[in-house]
Structure 1
Amino acid sequence: MTEHQVSPGRTTRRLTVAQAVVEFLRQQHSERDGQVTRLVPGCFGIFGHGNVAGLGQALLQSHQQDPAAMPYWLARNEQGMVHAAIGYARMTNRLSTLACTASVGPGSTNMLTGAALASINRLPVLLLPSDTFATRPADPVLQQLEYPVGPDVTVNDAFRPLSRFFDRVDRPEQLPSALLGAMRILTDPAETGAATICLPQDVQAEAYDWPVSLFERRVWRVARPAPDPASLADVLELVRTATRPLIVAGGGVIYSDATDALREFVDATGIPVADTQAGKGSLPHDHPAALGSVGATGTTAANAVARSADLIIGVGTRYTDFTTASGTGLGHAQTRFVNINVTASDAVKQTGLAVVGDARLILDALRERLEGWRASADYRAEYSGLAHAWAGVVDAATHLDHRPVPAQSAIIGAVNEAAEPGDVVVGAAGSLPGDLHKLWRARLPRTYHVEYGYSCMGYEIAGGLGVKMAAPDREVFVLVGDGSYLMMAQELVTAVAEQVKLIVVLVDNHGFGSIGALSESLGSQRFGTQYRYRDAAAGGLTGEVLPTDLAANAASLGARVLCADTIPELREALQEARAHVGGPVVIRVPADPSVPAPSSDAWWEVPVAEVSELDSTRAARAAYEVSKRQQRT
């Protein structure tokens, strides 16, 4: 590790490739609006023969030099550690993320789901999967894929379509360009996602003389690209001639720190706001212009206004099928679209007017140029009335006295009441994201963290771990169904080991409640969605409910466990959990999956069998065809 002057003005340091990776990451920072932060302030990992002597040795050496320079956290599942890093990145507004290293073969491919989730949600994460020998001293080595027509192909090539940046370092000389390319993607608001650098196990341990400039402090500026002036002028004309405009606020509003700009724009113009899953919290739920969620999991207020809008201004949204209600929910044949987005490919969706640039800059510019223009009093009164009516529906659903087993909507209400304004709720898959989108009352940005770009079962606890690591002063409530819990609960052990406090509300409905309801609506009669014994006579999974004890499982992992069978008991358990000091608390509460949340009056397309011998399927197909005729492409 000593420095050597190899020629006048050129000094090198001799390090292994793995040591160079760690030393480089220690010096990387991001900056936006004058705020400088560590870009990759730590590393999750699980060691095996592919990385224990490479990155493992390098991280140990770094720890002995300075434990705070590159902390290492031992995860329990490779997919889980990527989810935790993603939660961390989202909570830091994409200005910081974590690295994840895994061993060769299954250890590395276990991170594939996390890579897909990061890229789909436009969230930065650095993946360092180990690879087989670059020198091929003895083929095949343990865990190597033999691909006869491409000997250079390994299982890690599966990361290519899932990553926004991919490289494999077969020689030390390739490392600097790979590292710089990955950092560029991690700090590019339009292109960010998973950045993957594959590191063959022999290359990790190979020494090289690196230029010392590689390890100098580097600050990556996260840009705020300005919009094209002509596009702004076109937007102004569309707004001034609109009578029923609506803003659809996506995650880009929050990532751009544009929530204040949005509120000021709305206060000045009176244009109402509906939000997507990623954009929830862009405007406080009780703001006079807040209509709540839009689309298939939206509010009746937002969806009614969206269907009749003559101008829809999408800010930082990808227009997923849940947001558009599968092409049936936003506007009508004459509706115009304005798409404000830092990503050009998103800005051209819905055949709208594309305004490519930073959301905060654009909203501020529009507000200044629209001074004096305001939506009509009649329109403001109309959408205010719709919002007030929906608020009453939420009040009723979140205080539903359903016995003997609580309704999920009432469970959400109890958690929402227990949460303080800055606390964070985390969710991901099943029926909870849809119910949370409709019913959760977010008061501040970055307090609603529901992963719904990939809707990945098992994200919840691991993602919550990352959120809490990024915001240790906030309470983090993880709402997870029993199906997702059984997919991936292992990072509870990581939270126990690191004494990271999470409040995990484990909603137990004995199966896949969301898919069960969807199955029933599609005529498939909840087939294969419940946790039950197989009925010996009928042959199906229709016997008694399984005696699975998820509370005992959580306790065996080291978490403190509380059980609540009623809503009053849940409220008491939530108070006890808030007072707890230390690691995670799991509150197990049953829910009746047959009690739905209030309807959104919107559609989500899932094709139904065109022919069937089942009456239930034929009826569902008839309803599907009615909705399909309303779809616009």
Structure 2
Amino acid sequence: MTTKRMTVGQALVEFLAHQWTVDGDLRERTIPGVFGIFGHGNVAGLGQALKQYNVADPTLMPYHQARNEQAMVHQAVGFARIHRRRATFAAAASVGPGAANMLTGAALATANRLPALLLPADTFATRVADPVLQQLEHPHDTSVQVTDAFRPLSRYFDRVQRPEQLFSIALAAMRVLTDPAETGAVTIALPEDVQAEALDVPLEFLQDREWHIRRPAPEQWALEAAVAAIRAARKPFIVAGGGVIYSGAEEALRRLVELTGIPVGTSQAGGGSLVWDHPQYLGGVGATGTTAANRLAAQADLVIGIGTRYSDFTTASRTAFQNPDVAFVNINVAPFDAFKHGTQLPVIADARETLTALRALLDRHHVSAEYAERIAAEKRAWDAAVDGAFTPTGLNLPGQPEIIGAVQAASGPKDVVVQAAGSLPGDLHKLWRVRDSLGYHVEYAFSTMGYEIAGGLGVKRGLEALGDDRDVIVMVGDGSYLMLHSELATAVAEGIKIIVVLIQNEGYASIGHLSETVGSQRFGTRYRYLDRDELNFEKGDLLTAVDLAANARSYGIDVVEIHPGPEAIDQLSAAVRDAKASSTSTLIHINSDPFVYAPEGEGWWDVPVAQVADLESTKRAYDEYREQQKKQRPLLG
């Protein structure tokens, strides 16, 4: 067998450069690049390897700088979604704090079922120098290190303790990255000494290798059972999740619902499964859903879940589906999700394959005229509610719904809106009128504050790799912005254009509202100066000395400040249009009123309230909580 003498770091980099994902007629590099921040754990291993290949062939495995290890993973995830999970980035970090900084990113990738390859450095396998800088020491188990924290956060974890282990570990990692049912964070821990050790690498390991994405067709018995259930249902309802997007099943879904008239509500990940003005699309469903979707879901006798994991927001904490005889047809490539809610009708298969098969078997089947009219009436009513929410009030401080409306009106039909945390995901789920299957990118499985700018960069990288020049509009609140804004420097360094709409409401608007509902009176949710007499932040002046626009300007991007006033919404629309016309990144800063809410969608989210309290507000909240709990159902269908 012909071999090549290489270090572990060099072998891994060259191996990754030759991995290809194949999805039907599509073929692309599984790992088109590496993000890396170097330290004593990886500078001599992966760092040296990346440098060496950059000198020999810069296109083999491009390296990209980052300013924060967590943000590296966010970029990889944003890239992966835009590529429908066919490709992602690797993220390399040094020992100790560098590796630990990636833990949030790992959890985010796994929770969202999106691939990301994490390469955290580890301490010496030989323990020749023990302990080293940044090494943990546990007297009960000296083998435990920071990288062990990745185990519960990863869909695959291993540690290369000897050079020879690289071959089997790398191949296993690629299998999970490209498996639609298992994908998520894939972590290969690399001890700093092992990274630099040499071994004889078989040339076969370094040759091009293809990983074909599985698109399993439904089993005949499961398909026939699903068809029978759909034909028997009087009020069927579809919940479209992220699996529709990842499977590329939007067209198959559209054709099925146009044939049958079945209404559709989407999870956050399923946004884009249908365009907003499609007659069968009723908007988001669940805790942050629309009245149209939630009212139809409440009465549904059959829920057809397609590529959804049924999170508590999607099921409104198991209060969304109120029909006592409701059954579930769960179409999912992952058995774990297909069997949820005790369904007796799991269809463990690819979404696109299943929808295509269902359409052929449901020919001439359609919901009743009465149900069709109910669908249309609820859609008309919600569309009117959104129109009202988007109408400018002319107040000095606009509400967030007006801001969303202005950004929507100024955006292009294929632009991508990116969001993750705070009050914006709920408002966008209700209000954003999605016009393209890839136009809605809200990370809501982990809802990570700080994801937005880094994730938006990943989305834009992904679009550029596809030759797609649409704009990426990042909407972020001041709370999330303060968590992680450093990747604006990355945008400047690489000339990557994103548009950031920074909405400042002087605190945590979402948790402030939630705090009210549980009787805690927005405690600790406004950005104020410390009241040193009462030792809280409840009565001090707002923290207006912090200038977020100036902070953004310091990164070297264009900044537009919209000052409070009756013309703020018109100015915002103009600023978004100007930003779209620009070739460089722009941040638009606008102040908002955190007490103006989107229209009520009749959804509920289970957040426990203190059972005993001295505060009257908490007592009232507990009484309301107990009433809402009565609507929760076991959902055994």
State the TM bucket, normalised to the shorter chain: over 0.9
- Equivalent position to 1:390, from 382, 385, 394: 382
- Equivalent position to 2:441, from 449, 452, 458: 449
- Equivalent position to 1:218, from 206, 209, 225: 209
> Is 1:610 equivalent to 2:611 in the alignment?
yes
Aligned to 2:430: 438
Aligned to 1:500: 496
2:322 and 2:631 in contact (8 A); partners too: no
1:312 and 1:331 in contact (8 A); partners too: no
Partner SS, residue 313 of structure 2:
helix
2:298 and 2:320 in contact (8 A); partners too: yes
| Pairwise CA distance, 1:401 | 1.0
Query: After TM superposition, which residue ranges in structure 1, 4 or more long, deviate above 4 angstroms?
Result: none
After superposition, give the CA deviation of every residue in 1:320-353 in whole Å (9 maximum; x if it has no partner): 0000000101242211110000000100111221
CA distance in 1, matches of 2:39, 2:10: 17
Aligned to 1:162: 153
- Equivalent position to 2:299, from 285, 308, 311: 308
2:500 and 2:587 in contact (8 A); partners too: yes
Aligned to 1:631: 632
Partner SS, residue 630 of structure 1:
coil
Amino acid at match of 2:483: M
> Is 1:424 equivalent to 2:422 in the alignment?
no
- Equivalent position to 1:564, from 562, 565, 573: 562
Q: How does 1:30-429 map to 2 (within 5 A)?
A: 30-352=21-343, 353-429=345-421
Aligned to 1:511: 507
| Pairwise CA distance, 1:579 | 1.4
CA distance in 2, matches of 1:261, 1:110: 40
After superposition, give the CA deviation of every residue in 1:141-179 in whole Å (9 maximum; x if it has no partner): 101111222222211000001000101001110001110
Amino acid at match of 2:551: N
| Pairwise CA distance, 1:65 | 1.4
CA distance in 2, matches of 1:402, 1:235: 51
Percent sequence identity is 57
Partner SS, residue 143 of structure 1:
coil
CA distance in 1, matches of 2:519, 2:350: 45
| Pairwise CA distance, 1:540 | 2.0
2:79 and 2:461 in contact (8 A); partners too: yes
2:240 and 2:306 in contact (8 A); partners too: yes
> Is 1:544 equivalent to 2:535 in the alignment?
no
| Pairwise CA distance, 1:400 | 3.5
Aligned to 1:6: none
After superposition, give the CA deviation of every residue in 1:27-60 in whole Å (9 maximum; x if it has no partner): 0000011210000000001011111111111001
Partner SS, residue 122 of structure 1:
coil
After superposition, give the CA deviation of every residue in 1:450-497 in whole Å (9 maximum; x if it has no partner): 000001000000000000001131100000000000000011111110
After superposition, give the CA deviation of every residue in 1:508-541 in whole Å (9 maximum; x if it has no partner): 0000011001101111000000100122443321
| Pairwise CA distance, 1:399 | 1.8
CA distance in 1, matches of 2:498, 2:240: 29
- Equivalent position to 1:479, from 475, 480, 503: 475
* RMSD (Å), alpha carbons: 0.8
2:392 and 2:569 in contact (8 A); partners too: no
CA distance in 2, matches of 1:203, 1:152: 16
| Pairwise CA distance, 1:572 | 1.4
CA distance in 1, matches of 2:548, 2:115: 33
CA distance in 1, matches of 2:392, 2:573: 14
CA distance in 2, matches of 1:44, 1:558: 22
CA distance in 2, matches of 1:62, 1:558: 31
2:120 and 2:187 in contact (8 A); partners too: yes
Aligned to 2:581: 579
CA distance in 2, matches of 1:400, 1:302: 26
CA distance in 2, matches of 1:369, 1:316: 20
| Pairwise CA distance, 1:402 | 4.9
Residues 20 and 175 of structure 1: CA distance in aligned 2, closer, same or farther (over 3 Å): same
Amino acid at match of 1:574: V
TM-score by length of 2: 0.97
CA distance in 2, matches of 1:365, 1:581: 45
CA distance in 1, matches of 2:530, 2:134: 37
> Is 1:488 equivalent to 2:487 in the alignment?
no
CA distance in 2, matches of 1:221, 1:399: 48
2:116 and 2:186 in contact (8 A); partners too: yes
CA distance in 2, matches of 1:324, 1:264: 25
After superposition, give the CA deviation of every residue in 1:103-143 in whole Å (9 maximum; x if it has no partner): 00000010000000000100000000000000101211101
Amino acid at match of 1:318: R
Aligned to 1:594: 595
Amino acid at match of 2:547: D
1:506 and 1:589 in contact (8 A); partners too: yes
After superposition, give the CA deviation of every residue in 1:44-100 in whole Å (9 maximum; x if it has no partner): 010111111111110011111111221111100000111011100011000000000
Amino acid at match of 2:580: R
Partner SS, residue 5 of structure 2:
strand
Amino acid at match of 2:489: V
CA distance in 2, matches of 1:312, 1:504: 37
2:99 and 2:147 in contact (8 A); partners too: yes
Partner SS, residue 385 of structure 2:
helix
| Pairwise CA distance, 1:614 | 0.8
CA distance in 2, matches of 1:539, 1:215: 62
1:284 and 1:290 in contact (8 A); partners too: yes
CA distance in 2, matches of 1:79, 1:623: 39
| Pairwise CA distance, 1:181 | 0.6
2:411 and 2:577 in contact (8 A); partners too: no
Amino acid at match of 1:619: R
Aligned to 1:4: none
Amino acid at match of 1:553: N
CA distance in 1, matches of 2:370, 2:188: 56
TM-score by length of 1: 0.98
Partner SS, residue 340 of structure 1:
strand
